[in-house]
Amino acid sequence: MHHRYMSLALELARKGAPDAYPNPLVGAVLVLQGEVIGTGYHARYGGPHAEIAAIEDAHQRGYRDLSQATLYVTLEPCCHYGKTPPCTERIIKERIGQVVIGTEDPCPLVCGKGIKALREAHIPLQVGVMKDQCRRLNPFFFTYHEKGRPYGLLKMACSLDGKIGWPSEDRDPPRAIPPNNQNGTHHDKGEPQSFSVIVPSRQTGSRWISGETSHHDVHRLRAHYQAILCGIGTVLADDPLLTTRLYPGKNPLRVIVDSQLRIPLTSRIVQSATQVPTIVATCASPEDPKAKALQERGIRVLSLPPMAKPQPDPEYVPEPHPATPGNSHGFPKQSKNPRTSPERVDLRELALHLGKEGITSLLIEGGSRIAASALAAGIVDRVRLYVAPFCIADPAAPSLPHPERGVPPEGNPPFPIPCLTNKAVPFYAKSPLSALLSRLTNITLSPCGEDIIIEGDPCSPVSSRK
């Protein structure tokens, strides 16, 4: 019985995203003699909490006496004054007969104090009903309070063979697609066959690997995250805006990792800094002339101590980038070996700094280098891959980061990726995609237009190949 009503409370809580952030998503249900008499959820930051909304809903339905009612709430009720009064005071004032709590609140201002206040008021409690589900409802909130940094989601798009870009400026390179796709679609109408290189269907002039539906989904993700992190390599190559243009939501704080302050003053990031809050994280001094020029244009320059200098890698080969040489934006070509650069931003220190500023969620976008660095720094809590149903099949094309450490669970071999038609697409067991997936747990798959979304939690530790 408890699971039934707590499940309803969880469903209600999800309605609060993204307007409730950075507060947690919370849902509440009031039940009297097996009948739901009031429901509520935390709908927006600074607004009424779920418990208050459920109580007010019950009153509007004509239920004034709640002494025999049971309140189901996904998170421990607050007991402090913030933007709203304590929920525990209202629960005690209403003389609610019983309270069932999904999980304790990790915030130091609450953290068991709400439960203690209700027990001291002699209100019967049951704590821990569907605890795991209630914790998973709020990964941002729990990561922030338990680790002191924002929850990190690494987002990348790739082909079936793990390529994240084209080998040159050619916007319509040949791609390997099942030969029975006569009309150029990516939906396999027959049994899996060997791949051959044919003219692709996405001849739109776009440099992106993922499809239109995935592009819109990425903008939706951005609206749900407080901050978005991107490396200087992507800025130089693609000149992105990193906004929510395709989704009606708030733009995230943009965080550009630029150890040597190479960001062009003519880039769209800099040009739009007065409209979209932007941080450039660097190892350079805030007194550097380039830093002052950025500050004059509305960018906050965050100078951080550099990470320990890595040893030069004699086997390192610079990864070709689709925008070099001579990219279309006129930005300087990337020529530095990042493994021998004198100073690099410590991403873990950057994440902790963002946590101190109250940032609870961080969407990590960019290329293989920033992805590998984020995984190695331990700031990635989940990986989200938009996998396009074709292969680029070119060794010169940039690839997903190749993890070398991390202990995958037993019995977690590469697996076939299902198409939207439930037919299996041949999986490339030795590809960068396979290597990365072998280091993920709790893997889920879901369709996204022509593409497939694969998500998983990184094994710990994860590092890029040296």
56 counts as catalytic: no
- Is residue 112 classed as helix, strand or coil in its secondary structure? coil
Closest CA to 391 of 443, 426, 416: 426
Q: Spell 438-462 as b/e; 16+ CB within 10 A means b.
A: bbbeeeeeeebbbbbbbbbebbeeb
φ, ψ dihedrals at 156, nearest 5°:
-145, 155
Q: Is the peptide bond before 18 cis (omega within 30 degrees of 0)?
A: yes
φ, ψ dihedrals at 151, nearest 5°:
-65, 130
Which one-letter amino acid corresponds to residue 23? N
Bridge partners (DSSP) listed for residue 143: none
d(CA 224, CA 270): 23
Q: How many residues does the chain have?
A: 466
| Catalytic annotation, pick one of 51, 76, 104, 450 | 51
Q: Is the peptide bond before 22 cis (omega within 30 degrees of 0)?
A: yes
- Tokens of residue 139, six digits: 């990964």
Q: Within 13 A of 349's CA, how many CA atoms are on the CB side?
A: 14
- Tokens of residue 86, six digits: 């304590």
d(CA 276, CA 11): 32
Q: Where are the alpha helices (DSSP H) in 137-190?
A: 139-147
d(CA 102, CA 11): 13
d(CA 344, CA 376): 14
Residue 20 and residue 43 in contact, taking contact as beta carbons nearer than 8 Å: yes
d(CA 12, CA 1): 17
**Does residue 347 come out as left (phi exceeding 0), alpha (psi in the -120 to 50 range) or beta?**
alpha
d(CA 245, CA 89): 42
Residue 127 and residue 112 in contact, taking contact as beta carbons nearer than 8 Å: no
Q: Within 13 A of 254's CA, how many CA atoms are on the CB side?
A: 28
Number of H-type helices and E-type strands within the chain = 13, 20
Give how far the C-alpha of residue 104 lies from the chain's centroid of Cα atoms, to the nearest Å: 24
Quickly tell me which residue has 């940039």 as its tokens: 398
Q: 377: burial class by Cβ within 10 Å (0-12, 13-18, 19+)?
A: buried
Q: Which residues are catalytic?
A: 51
